[in-house]
Amino acid sequence: MKTFFTIALGFLSFYMVNAQASLFNEAFRFNKFMDRVNSPKGDQLNYADIEGNAYFAKTFISANIENATNLVKTRYNMYTDTVELLNEETIFELPKSTKYGRIVFQNPPAVLLFLNESSIAAGYYFELVKGKYTLLKKMKTEFREGSKAINSFTPAISPRFENLNPEYFLKTETGFIKVTKSSKDFEKAMPAQQTETADFIKKNKLKLNNEEDLIKLVKFLNSPK
C-alpha cells in the first residue's frame, strides 16, 4: 500500500508540474506584447508616453486561468481587449479562446470571461453576478491623439487613454440583453418576471445606470421565489 501511495503521489506531482508548465511552454508560441500605440498621424508612442490608464490594473495580478493549474501574473488591457501574461521579463498576449475563457484575478478580486457568441460582440467581459441570470460588464478604453501648442493661448494637449462608460449585459437562458438606463426596457425584456421586476425596482428605488443597483436587481432575480 505504501509503495502504491508513493507511486501515485509521484505521478500526481509529475502531472501537476507538467500542467503548470504547459501554459508557459505554450506562451512561447503566443504573440509578444508590443509596448506601443500607432497614432492616426503615423506616430508610434510607448504606453509610458500616454496619459491615463489602459489597464484594469496597471500591475500584474496573480490569476487563475482556465486550463492552467498554477497562478499566473496577469493583467487586462482595456484598450486592446487582450489579456497579458508576465513570464519572467517577457510579456505575452493570451490567445482569445474559450480554452482560457475564465480568468479569476486574486487581488483586487474580479472574474473576466472571454465570450464568443453570435448575439454579443466577441471579447472579454467582467462577471459581476453569476447564476440563471448573469450580469456582465464591458469596459473599454480609447486612445485620444494629442496636439502641439499653436501659441501661448492654445497649450499642447498630451495623448491620452480615455476610459469610456462601461456597458452592461444580462445573460439569460435565451441570449443576452443589453441593459439601458430605462427600467421599462429591462422589464419588457423579462416577460416572465415583468411584474415582480417592476415592483422590486420601484420599491428599492433602483437606477439601472448604477452598478450596485444592477447587482442588487440581478441577485434578486436569481434568488429562490
Instruction: Report pTM.
Output: 0.83
CB 32 within 8 A of CB 91: yes
Burial class (CB in 10 A: 0-12, 13-18, 19+), 71: middle
Burial readout 178-198 (b: 16 or more C-beta within 10 A, e: otherwise): ebeeebeebbebbeeeeeebb
Q: What is the spatial distance between Cα 38 and Cα 180, in angstroms, rounded to a whole number? A: 33
What average pLDDT is seen over the chain? 84
Q: Where along the chain do its domains lie?
A: 2-131+141-163
Condensed to tens digits (0 to 9), the pLDDT of residues 114-140 reads 999 888 999 999 999 999 999 999 999
Condensed to tens digits (0 to 9), the pLDDT of residues 44-101 reads 889 998 999 999 998 999 999 998 878 999 999 999 999 999 988 889 999 999 999 9
Strand partners, 114: 124
Return the C-alpha cell found at 19.
500542467
Condensed to tens digits (0 to 9), the pLDDT of residues 168-221 reads 999 988 889 999 888 888 888 887 888 889 999 999 999 999 999 999 999 999
Q: Is the peptide bond before 224 cis (omega within 30 degrees of 0)?
A: no
Other C-beta atoms lying within 10 Å of the C-beta of residue 207: 13
The set of long-range contacts for 58-62, using a CB threshold of 8 Å and a minimum separation of 24, is 60/84, 60/86, 61/105, 61/106, 61/107, 61/108, 62/105, 62/106, 62/107
Give the chain's radius of gyration (CA, Å): 22
